[in-house]
Amino acid sequence: MARGQRSRRLAPLVVAPLDNILPSNASTGSVVPLQPLSDAEMPRDPIEQVILRRGSSRKFARTSITLSQLSTILHQATRGVSADFLRPIGSQLNSLYLIIHAVNGVAPGAYIFHGDRKVLECLKPGDFRTQAGYLGLGQALPADAAVDIFFLADLRPIVERMGNRGYRAVQLEAGIIGGKLYLPPMPSDWARQVLPSTMMT
């Protein structure tokens, strides 16, 4: 905020999906419906156990996970962030893009997650382990993980609407969702094959 500028309360930002900005040819049209576990099928572990077994992986074994596992992780992590800059609840500033390497029943490639439709849309099929390693600053982690999840946001309209607060809001939301991806109420080996990352344009 500039010196001398009066503070004012911002109205909630109504979020437009980032995928509307993508060029029309940035999709194969192939979609994969999510298959999350139902609430009745979810483990009932106490939060203390979930926190204790949570850990940041230093190495991935290049093993695969199931579509149900990935679906459950995405579903549980993206059920909404309670914040005054998001209306309605469930809106997101960030869009989730995935590089899928090893998910049983899903072709490797680059995908976008459509939370409103509960589907993954393939943007480009292929083996992108090398590219994932490059995006991870040359580390082996994103190349070895079963799935890499990237948080992308178009900062221009967000900052135009919210000022400098928009940048912080994007980072805050990505941090909360990323933390949920790392801390699911399920066996820890599920989430340890998924690597979240944050990027902004």
Over residues 95-148, the pLDDT tens digits come to: 999 999 999 999 999 999 998 899 999 999 999 999 988 888 888 888 888 899
User: If you average pLDDT over residues 46-71, what whole number do you get?
Assistant: 73
Least confident of 15-29, 54-68, 86-100, 107-121: 15-29
Q: Determine the pLDDT at residue 61.
A: 72
Q: Determine the pLDDT at residue 111.
A: 95
Residue 79, both tokens: 């059920």
* For the ranges 45-54, 81-90, 183-192, the one whose mean pLDDT is highest: 81-90
**Is 64 exposed, middle or buried (CB count within 10 Å of its CB: 0-12, 13-18, 19+)?**
middle
- In sequence order, what are the residues at sequence separation of 6 or more whose Cβ sits closer than 8 angstroms to the Cβ of residue 147? 65, 70, 98, 99, 100, 101, 102, 103, 193, 194, 195
pTM: 0.74
- On average, the pLDDT of the chain sits at 75
Strand-pairing partners, residue 113, are 120
Domains of the chain: 26-198 (3.40.109.10)
Q: Determine the pLDDT at residue 186.
A: 53
